[in-house]
Structure formats: structure tokens, C-alpha cells
Structure 1
Amino acid sequence: MNILISNTSGEPIYAQIVSQIRQMILQGELVSGTPLPSIRLLAKELQISVITTKRAYEELEREGLINSIVGKGSFVSGADQEFIREQRLRIMENKMKEIIDESKMLGIDFAEFSEMLKLLYEEETE
């Protein structure tokens, strides 16, 4: 499994793992039933704490993206991809509401806000 960890990122390591595995599942790189590396193996490969890896797997399990079976390991869930997408959209909407609230507090109007969003979006897709 190709997971890249950035120690300079402001994002916690467990969240980086969750984000990358989530993306692999949503993009179909990891399909239902695919076994994930054991918590210990992934921790060793990434040279991080087992506790950090365990936290990432627990978060993925809470989101319904993976299932863990004692003695067998963790596997990509058989959850409906549309259900998973809806969950992610809900999370995204909540983050967007926070950003909208912040922009209103700063006195940024919709035109300026949408221009900022457009520039950032285009910058990320290049």
C-alpha cells in the first residue's frame, strides 16, 4: 500500500493515513474485500507508532469504509459506494459551512468568496 506521510504537514499523521486510504477506496483502487496491511505492519512500513495506525483504522471503521475482524485483519468494507459518497459529501458540506461562516465574519461578500474558491480550485486541478 502506497501511503505517503508528511512530517511537515499540519495534518496529524493518522488523518493523513485515513485520507489516503479513503481516497483509494472511493476511487476504486481498493475494492470491497481487499485486505489492508496489519496495524503493526503498516506502522513498521511507515515508521510510525502502532497507536497512530490503530487510530487511523478505527476512524476508517467508524466511517464504514473498513471492517476489522479479530484474528483475521482489516478489510475494505462492502459498503455501497453511493452511501460512502453521501457520507463524504455531508462532511464536505459541514466544512464548507464553517468556511462560509468565517468569510462572513471577515466581511467577504459572495463574489469575492466565489472568486477565491474558483482560483483555489483551478490551482489544485493544474
Structure 2
Amino acid sequence: MKIIINSSSMVPIYEQIMDQIKALITAGDLKENDILPSVRTLAKDLKISALTVKKAYDNLEQEGYTVTVHGKGTFVAAANPERMMEERRREVEDDLAKAVEKGRRCGLEDSEIRELFELIMED
């Protein structure tokens, strides 16, 4: 599992870890019952505090992405199709919002952005 930390990002490191693990789960690269690296191992690999990794893992568990078994490790939780679909929908929504923002920054009117969207949808 490859996690990349951007230390110059405004996004907290634990959120970067969470987002990347969620993306791996959503994409199917991490499957149900796959074990995640231990907190200490991942902290050492990323050269960050174990508390930061622990916070990411705890939040992933609270959100239902992982399950921690004391003494065994942290595992990818059973797939919840509704949660997975909601996560994918959120990703698409975020991408569309970025596209609209970019269009507006480039001086396009909302009607022009809608027209472009319709053209793309026709393909």
C-alpha cells in the first residue's frame, strides 16, 4: 500500500492518509479483510507520528471502512454497497464542482458551462 504525504498541503496529514485509503478501498485495490500496515509500521514508513496514523485509522473505523481486531491489526471492512456508491457519487460531485469553478475562472458563463456539459454527455 503506497501512501504519499504532501507536507506543504493545507489538508491535515491524517486526512491525507484517510482519503488515500478510502480511494484504494473504493477503487477495489484494497478488498474486504485485507490487512492495513500496523500503526507503527506506517508511521515509520511515512516518517510521521504514530498518533497521526492512529487518528486516521480510528476515523476510518468510525466511518465503517475498517475494523480493528485487538492484537491482530486493522482490516478493510466488509463492503457496504450503499456507502461505496455514496463515496463514488461524492467524488464525481467534487470533480464536477472543480470543473465548474475552473470554467468560471476562465470567464465562462454558467449557460456556457451547462452547454459544454450537455455536449460532453452526448458523446
**Structure index of larger Rg:** 2
Q: TM-score, normalised by structure 1?
A: 0.70
In the alignment, residue 41 of structure 2 is paired with which amino acid? L
CA distance in 2, matches of 1:110, 1:89: 25
CA distance in 1, matches of 2:17, 2:72: 21
Structure 2 residue runs without a partner (length 5+): 95-108, 118-123
Do 1:65 and 1:84's aligned partners in 2 also have CA atoms closer than 8 Å?
Answer: no
CA distance 1:18–1:71, shift in 2 (3 Å): same
1:23-81: per-residue Cα shift (whole Å, max 9, x none)? 0000000000100000111001100011100010011111111100111000001132x
Aligned to 2:33: 33
Q: Percentage identity across aligned positions? A: 40
The secondary structure found in structure 1 opposite 2:68 is: strand
Q: TM-score, normalised by structure 2?
A: 0.72
Structure 1 residue runs without a partner (length 5+): 96-108, 119-126
Deviating 4+ runs (over 6 angstroms): 92-95
Map 1:36-115; keep pairs closer than 5 Å. 36-80=36-80, 82-88=81-87, 110-111=110-111, 114=113
Do 2:36 and 2:76's aligned partners in 1 also have CA atoms closer than 8 Å?
Answer: yes
